[in-house]
A and B are shown apart, each in its own frame.
Chain A
């Protein structure tokens, strides 16, 4: 069965500290993994996807098929990174996408 697990509901770090938001998945085929973000009073929007291998706003995420993980990382947190982050999973040819329960990231000054 397809499943996305984000074990932390809330993650609080100081400004300038490294950030890692955890995401583990379960999927039998070839997965497509995404991170979506929702800033306060804004819409849910795509942050990055594993196939593009980009760094967006300083965030990166590497797909580790051995550990079935897609953790989101940033070396130095900024206050504007405070938001709700959702990990999502889909199959390359599937229309269905599954979201994790989300992690609220709070950056303390």
Chain B
């Protein structure tokens, strides 16, 4: 598959569960991002990785733990989440992490925390 893929597309978890979201990009990009899209808030940048190194952590709670093992894969590990963490989580990639670069988005993972 081309572009940016995300799995799973839907996830329901309890507050004590541990789960992971996966993102993969097939575009040869060097930067990857996690965003949170809630119903009542603007799209929020969570993390930025450039060449597998985290360059931005936008004051995200520690119950969200990102991992970037290589420039094509990005994970978001979830642990003891709260119901207010229910949202659409979007992954994106760009050629580099510079602000002028076009971001290519995945389809998102719809997360529901019970």
Contact = CB atoms under 8 A, between A and B. Distances in A.
A93 B50 CA distance: 13
Interface of A: 4, 32, 34, 36, 43-46, 49, 51, 86, 90-102
Nearest to B50: A95
B48 interface: yes
Interface of B: 4, 31, 41-45, 48, 50, 55-56, 58, 90, 92, 97-100, 102-108
B43 A96 contact: no
A44 B105 contact: yes
Given A44-B90, A44-B105, A46-B103, A95 B42 contact: no
The 4 A-B residue pairs whose C-beta atoms are closest, nearest first, are A90-B99, A95-B97, A99-B43, A101-B42
Given A95-B50, A100-B42, A102-B42, A43 B99 contact: no
Given A43-B107, A44-B105, A92 B43 contact: no
Contacts of B58: 96
Nearest to A45: B105
Given A43-B106, A44-B90, A94 B99 contact: yes
B50 to A, nearest CB: 7
15 contacts: A43-B105, A43-B108, A44-B90, A46-B102, A46-B103, A86-B42, A92-B98, A92-B100, A95-B48, A95-B56, A98-B45, A99-B43, A99-B44, A102-B42, A102-B43
